[in-house]
Amino acid sequence: MNQKASPAALASVRMTDAPPQDAVDIGAPAGEALPACVLLVEDDLVSQRVARRHLEQMGYVVVVADDGAAAVKTCMQQQFALVLMDLQMAHMDGLQATREIRRLEGRSRRVPILGLTANAGADELARCTTAGMNGLLVKPLQRARLAQALEQLASADQALAPPDPEPHEHADPASALPADLANLRAKFRDDSAFVRRLCQTFLTSTRQLMNELERAAYAGDRAQLRALAHKIKGASNNVYAHRAAALAAQIEWGSTGLTVSALNPAIEALRRAIDEIATQVSSELP
């Protein structure tokens, strides 16, 4: 399999549930070779940077929307070869946004939509396809899996394969290093400048999320606590911070059944883990 799907091929992709005459070519005019445009709908800054980097290195132009409502508005104003849609967002989540896009576009134009989630599973995939998505990709986004999905979408006779299991869901918080920066650099072809910016974005955004999480815990707001822990888990996995991701997952899962006081040790450990990542980044990525 090729390492990237052709932007030109994706630009004329057909939806499997639309008749051939409904196919829309949103590529360049004849004689011009402009890259296809992808709408990335993601409210986490770290996930935004990772997905955008992969797509741009594969030859796509990327437009970013920070939430579902912005995605719906942008889709009605501009044609895209593909929409990558995060599922869990404030104000309007990815499933709601997809249903609204499908309602507004009707049958005349059916843009391919792939969901993005940190929680893979058959139930999640079923929810996505019921809402009108073409498939589901697991975060942290892997370039090879993204390329495979784009190739499948560009082939009218292929169905998108189910998502692979989440790679870091069961990381051991006691044994994991603060962050696997060696693998992170390898993932981005040893681009130390980009990795440094990505880690700084992670530290800035995650510290803000930790402040909000601690306030939610103090207020006993379980729903907000769960949502914030989920975001920290996703951001941590993006930078291979396995211990922080595992601790955030403990808080996310525990927020539905445990008392907030029972979660305090994990919250304190997560704060320390983020501080340890900052120390490691300062040492290894000066």
How far apart, in whole angstroms, are the C-alpha atoms of residue 286 and residue 284? 6
Q: Which residue(s) pair with 67 in the sheet?
A: none
3-state secondary structure of 269: helix
pLDDT in tens, 46-73: 999 999 999 999 999 999 999 999 999 9
Q: Which residue(s) pair with 39 in the sheet?
A: 63, 83
Predicted local confidence at residue 162, as pLDDT: 55
Question: Residues of the chain whose pLDDT is less than 70?
Answer: 1-34, 108, 120, 156-176
Predicted local confidence at residue 200, as pLDDT: 96
Which of 123, 87, 127 has the alpha carbon at shortest distance from 231?
87
How far apart, in whole angstroms, are the C-alpha atoms of residue 244 and residue 251? 11
A 10 A CB-CB count for 143 gives: 18
Annotated domain spans of the chain: 7-154, 181-284
Predicted local confidence at residue 9, as pLDDT: 52
Predicted local confidence at residue 163, as pLDDT: 56
**Structure token pair of residue 68:** 């579902």
Place of tokens 């980009």: 194
Predicted local confidence at residue 6, as pLDDT: 58
Place of tokens 């999320």: 209
Phi then psi for 138, rounded to 5 degrees?
A: -95, 135
Predicted local confidence at residue 257, as pLDDT: 83
**Structure token pair of residue 39:** 């709408």
Fold of 181-284: Four Helix Bundle (Hemerythrin (Met), subunit A) (1.20.120)
CB-based contact 16:133 (threshold 8 Å): no
Predicted local confidence at residue 12, as pLDDT: 41
Class of domain 7-154: alpha beta
**Structure token pair of residue 92:** 């309007």
